[in-house]
Amino acid sequence: MNLSDSELIVLEELWKGDCLDENGEITALELSKILNEKYNFSKSSSYTFINRLVEKNALSRRYPNYKIKPVIKREDLGNNQIQKIIDTVYKGSFVKLFSAFVNNKKITNTELEEMKDIISSIEIKDE
């Protein structure tokens, strides 16, 4: 799923959750007000981004009151984007992605230990 920076801003506000009601929803009008206050998005821009996210199945919309709700979770979007990068940039090799990541960043001892813990907890798949 390809998302623009503005669409990601909309999702980020929803993922925070503090603007959502007890059903995990918010009206498009309420969200557009928040986006205007925080990011200076016009009402029409907000609705454009919301509608694009509905079309991409990242948000659900229901009537009355044009209530919207995030459908995609941050983790799922992140996993999809990572897999796309692995497939396209690193030709399907997670090892090449991992190598590029760790070789281009200074890693603290704490981060290294955390990564070792993660690696040691991975279940090995049959090839």
- % of the chain beyond a pLDDT of 70: 98
Q: Is residue 126 part of a domain?
A: no
Question: 79 with 64, same domain?
Answer: no
Tell me which residue range forms the domain holding 95.
74-120
Whole-number Å distance between alpha carbons of 127 and 125? 6
When pLDDT is cut at 50, 70 and 90, the band that residue 122 belongs to is: confident
CB atoms within 10 A of CB 122: 7
Q: Structure pTM?
A: 0.72
Domain count, the chain: 2
pLDDT at 110: 92
Whether 59 and 95 map to the same domain: the answer is: no
Q: What is the pLDDT of residues 13-63, one digit of tens each?
A: 999 989 999 999 999 999 999 999 999 999 999 999 999 999 999 999 998
The CATH number given to whatever domain includes residue 65 is 1.10.10.10
Binned at pLDDT 50, 70 and 90, residue 126 comes out as low
pLDDT for the residue numbered 1: 77
* Pair 37, 59 in one domain: yes
Task: Verify that 15 and 53 share a domain, yes or no.
Answer: yes
Same domain, 13 and 59: yes
Verify that 94 and 111 share a domain, yes or no. yes
**Which of residues 48, 70, 92 is at a domain's end?**
70
DSSP string, 53-105: HHHTTSEEEETTTTEEEE-S-HHHHHHHHHHHHHHHTSTT-HHHHHHHHHHTS
